[in-house]
Chain A
Amino acid sequence: EPEVTQTPSHQVTQMGQEVILRCVPISNHLYFYWYRQILGQKVEFLVSFYNNEISEKSEIFDDQFSVERPDGSNFTLKIRSTKLEDSAMYFCASSGTVILAEQFFGPGTRLTVL
């Protein structure tokens, strides 16, 4: 069964450093998403991406964040200058169509900012 994969599973970084979280969505999917979940809190939407551009972003997704689909298979989330409050589990998701299709989530990357 196809699945979304994410690397690394755990990333530890120093405050102010740049991090890139990587995701490989399901191969024939067209819509891609990033969510995050701070420990003990609810899952929060960050950004959606379609046709090589951002479709929608939340207030959390400020100028420190960017997304890219560099090579047609990977989907990345970059945080330019990490803050302590960026520590969270980051989930990538993909879906074939937008509105009603189920989103398939990856296992997540745990980001720890020290």
Chain B
Amino acid sequence: DAKTTQPNSMESNEEEPVHLPCNHSTISGTDYIHWYRQLPSQGPEYVIHGLTSNVNNRMASLAIAEDRKSSTLILHRATLRDAAVYYCILRESRSGTSYGKLTFGQGTILTVHP
């Protein structure tokens, strides 16, 4: 699996936007960019994924650089509940490879201040 690089930690204030960066300079053309997060004492939770175009869902937005070598997860208004470890993960899209496993890195610890 291609490698991703994320900052170890970031801080934000409640109700402010948060931009969580991820570098993936060795991404291949068939790799999708997935984000998961892990709230304290819980299992990981899917956030969003994309390939080339920016994506929005109820939880977040994903901005993907034109060259796909980096992406940014955007939380539009951080809440205390968004304090978690955020993982940027590349997943191959070729059927029959990887069998869907997720390869987690260390992620970014997001702290949200009241």
* A42-B104, A43-B104, A44-B104 known; A102+B99 contact, CB < 8 A: no
Residues of A within 8 A of B (CB): 4, 31, 33, 35, 42-45, 48, 50, 55-56, 58, 91, 93, 95, 98-108
A-B contacts, CB under 8 A, total: 68
* A43-B38, A56-B98 known; A102+B44 contact, CB < 8 A: no
Q: B114 interface residue, CB < 8 Å from A?
A: no
* A43-B104, A99-B95 known; A105+B45 contact, CB < 8 A: yes
Further pairs besides A56-B101, A100-B32: 14, Cβ < 8 Å: A31-B99, A42-B104, A43-B104, A45-B101, A48-B100, A58-B101, A91-B44, A95-B100, A98-B95, A99-B92, A99-B94, A100-B93, A102-B49, A107-B43
* A42-B105, A99-B95, A100-B91 known; A106+B43 contact, CB < 8 A: yes
* A99-B98, A99-B100 known; A43+B32 contact, CB < 8 A: no
User: In which size bucket is the chain B interface?
Assistant: 20 to 34
12 A-B pairs with CB atoms under 8 Å apart are A31-B99, A33-B102, A35-B102, A35-B104, A42-B105, A42-B107, A45-B101, A45-B102, A50-B99, A55-B99, A102-B49, A107-B42
Residues of B within 8 A of A (CB): 32, 38, 42-46, 49, 87, 91-95, 98-107
B43 touches A56 (CB 8 A): no
